[in-house]
């Protein structure tokens, strides 16, 4: 049987297939019709047997798909729902079984994160990753834009950030950055795939590159960094200039970001005292909140009890929460926010698959097999954080060891398929033995599309 990842909520097949050929015409909602006809080599027409219809839907972002001898009809209340239906069709094509599918996601936020700071990836690479992740109904791309090794986004009011702070990366390469025009191009391309870009400016740690550009941002002298250690940098917490920096950067990033979210990092600030960390988070989040975005922080930000109401927490500890992680995560919910789950030992795409994997790291409890990436549930990780407290799930890809788009794809696929199914499909009866043959079919699709996988 032709298979779908993430598994739909319900599917009832009947005998027969509808075959898509280059003569098949596609009509209805123009953006999704154009996307699918380009992807499958079909033709668009007004009155077509394959039709994308705006109407009712079974749930937010959901769609219904009806396939019979008469044709193929996808119906949803939004274009995003129709696009999800188009992804289902991409996986069933070209011999689409007669079927009735009702489908909608378990979680609103289904994310992938790309670290463009440790190694820089150009606009075309990012667009390719966006096209790839759309296949799995991922709808958020979190861009980790700044870190010790490089500052990757042009900020007009602080020009040295990219003049000086972008010219380095892990291992000594040239680095690079996005102009604001580049960034908008990424955002627009993502929007064409119904993906929202979530920019991250990580602070107060992970800020060595910013201080290389503007030494007054640090209390200690710094130089460009090409290694992979973490936790050694901090902004100058008691300097007013630091808060001017936060204000200017957040204002400009918010202005070029149409999506509702802005991620302020807050992780691994190991060179910042507890008192300074709390002081900084209180001030920086209050400044950032002026620009109208819902803020996100890595779970350590939950150490602060004075976050703007509704701030979201991103959990990156293990399936068994390490010291403080559960408590810090619950703190976001106590302050009116929700949680994005990214347990490092199962959802980090930069962990090696096994000891023989050339790329990747192993710090998160050793390698992460495809089976391990599938065999967990976000509602079982932190006591007190169940579906209602969860906004969703995200799979981060850190790039200390990754230099090319092939490296990115090799680590992301097929494990991103596991995380995407966890984020979309109903929890009931999820089982690796049932997933494995469907995954084999998805890997065939990756091969047809020339997408690398591990």
Binding site for ligand TNX (CB under 6 A): 230, 267-268, 298, 316, 344, 348, 350, 361, 398, 400
Contact criterion met (CB below 8 Å) for 440 and 1: no
CB of 210 to ligand TNX, least distance (A): 15
Cross-strand pairs, 265:
203
Euclidean distance between CA atoms 283 and 274, whole angstroms: 14
Edge-to-edge strands, sheet with 25-28: 10-19, 95-103, 63-68, 71-76, 50-54, 25-28, 43-44
CA 92 to chain centre: 25
Q: Compute the distance between CA of residue 6 and CA of residue 349 in angstroms, rounded to an integer.
A: 18
CB of 247 to ligand TNX, least distance (A): 24
268 is catalytic: yes
Scored b (16 or more CB within 10 A) or e, 181-211 reads ebbebbbebbeebbbbbbbbbbbbbbbbbbb
Quick check: bond before 9 cis, omega within 30? no
Radius of gyration of the chain measured on its C-alpha atoms:
22
The dihedral through the CA atoms of 439, 441, 446, 452 has a sign that is positive
β-pairing verdict for 339-341 and 294-298: unpaired
Of residues 268, 275, 327, 434, which has the active-site annotation? Answer: 268
Half-sphere exposure in the Cβ direction for 438 (13 Å, CA): 20
- Rounded (5°) CA angle 76-78-81: 60
Cβ-based nearer residue to ligand TNX, 13 or 268: 268
Instruction: Give 125 or 268: the residue with its C-beta nearer to ligand TNX.
Output: 268
Alpha carbon distance 432, 452 (integer Å): 22
Taking the C-alpha atoms of residue 439 and residue 420, their distance in angstroms, rounded to an integer, is 12
- We find the least distance from the C-beta atom of residue 413 to ligand TNX, in angstroms, to be 18
- Would you call the peptide bond into 170 cis, given omega within 30 degrees of 0 as the criterion? no
Q: Give the nearer residue to ligand TNX in terms of CB position, either 315 or 442.
A: 315
In Å, how far are 18, 54, 80, 121, 370 from 182, measured between CA atoms?
Answer: 41, 32, 24, 12, 34
Q: Which is nearer to ligand TNX, 103 or 394 (CB)?
A: 394
Other Cβ atoms less than 10 A from the Cβ of 324: the count is: 13
Q: With the CA atoms of 286, 292, 294 and 296 taken in that order, what torsion angle do they form, in degrees rounded to the nearest 10? A: -50
Query: Which residues are part of the catalytic machinery?
Result: 268
């Amino acid at each position: 049987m032709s298979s779908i990842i993430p598994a739909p909520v319900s599917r009832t097949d009947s005998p027969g297939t509808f075959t898509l050929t280059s003569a098949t015409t596609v009509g209805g909602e123009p953006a999704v019709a154009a996307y699918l006809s380009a992807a499958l080599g079909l033709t668009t027409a007004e009155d077509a047997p394959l039709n994308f219809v705006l109407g009712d839907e079974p749930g937010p972002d959901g769609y219904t798909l009806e396939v019979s001898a008469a044709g193929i009809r996808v119906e949803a209340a939004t274009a995003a729902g129709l696009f999800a239906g188009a992804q289902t069709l991409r996986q069933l094509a070209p011999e689409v079984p007669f079927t009735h599918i009702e489908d909608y996601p378990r979680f609103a936020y289904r994310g992938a994160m790309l670290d463009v700071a440790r190694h820089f990836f150009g606009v075309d690479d990012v667009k390719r990753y966006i096209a790839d992740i759309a296949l799995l109904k991922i709808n958020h791309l979190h861009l980790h834009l700044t870190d010790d090794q490089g500052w990757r986004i042009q900020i007009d009011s602080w020009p040295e950030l990219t003049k000086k702070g972008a010219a380095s990366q892990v291992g000594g390469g040239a680095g690079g950055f996005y102009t604001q025009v580049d960034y908008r191009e990424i955002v627009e391309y993502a929007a064409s795939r119904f993906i929202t870009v979530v920019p991250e400016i990580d602070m107060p740690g992970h800020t060595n590159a910013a201080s290389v550009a503007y030494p007054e941002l640090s209390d200690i002298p710094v130089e460009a960094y090409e290694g992979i250690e973490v936790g050694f940098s901090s902004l100058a917490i008691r300097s007013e200039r630091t808060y001017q920096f936060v204000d200017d950067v957040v204002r400009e990033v918010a202005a070029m970001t149409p999506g509702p979210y802005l991620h302020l990092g807050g992780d691994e600030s190991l060179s910042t005292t507890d008192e300074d960390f709390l002081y900084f988070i209180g001030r920086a989040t209050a400044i950032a909140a002026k620009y109208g975005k819902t803020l996100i922080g890595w779970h350590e930000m939950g150490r602060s009890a004075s976050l703007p109401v509704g701030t979201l927490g991103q959990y990156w500890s293990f399936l068994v929460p390490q010291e403080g992680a559960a408590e810090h995560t619950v703190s976001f919910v106590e302050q009116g926010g929700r949680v994005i789950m990214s347990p490092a030992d199962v959802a980090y795409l930069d962990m090696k698959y096994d000891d023989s994997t050339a790329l990747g790291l192993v710090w998160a409890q050793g390698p992460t097999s495809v089976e391990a990436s599938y065999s967990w549930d976000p509602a079982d990780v932190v006591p007190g954080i169940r579906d209602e407290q969860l906004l969703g799930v995200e799979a981060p890809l850190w790039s200390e060891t990754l230099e090319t788009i092939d490296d990115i794809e090799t680590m992301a696929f097929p494990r991103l398929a596991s995380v995407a199914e966890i984020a979309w499909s109903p929890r009931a009866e999820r089982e690796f033995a049932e997933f494995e043959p469907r995954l084999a079919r998805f890997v065939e699709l990756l091969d047809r599309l020339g997408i690398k996988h591990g």
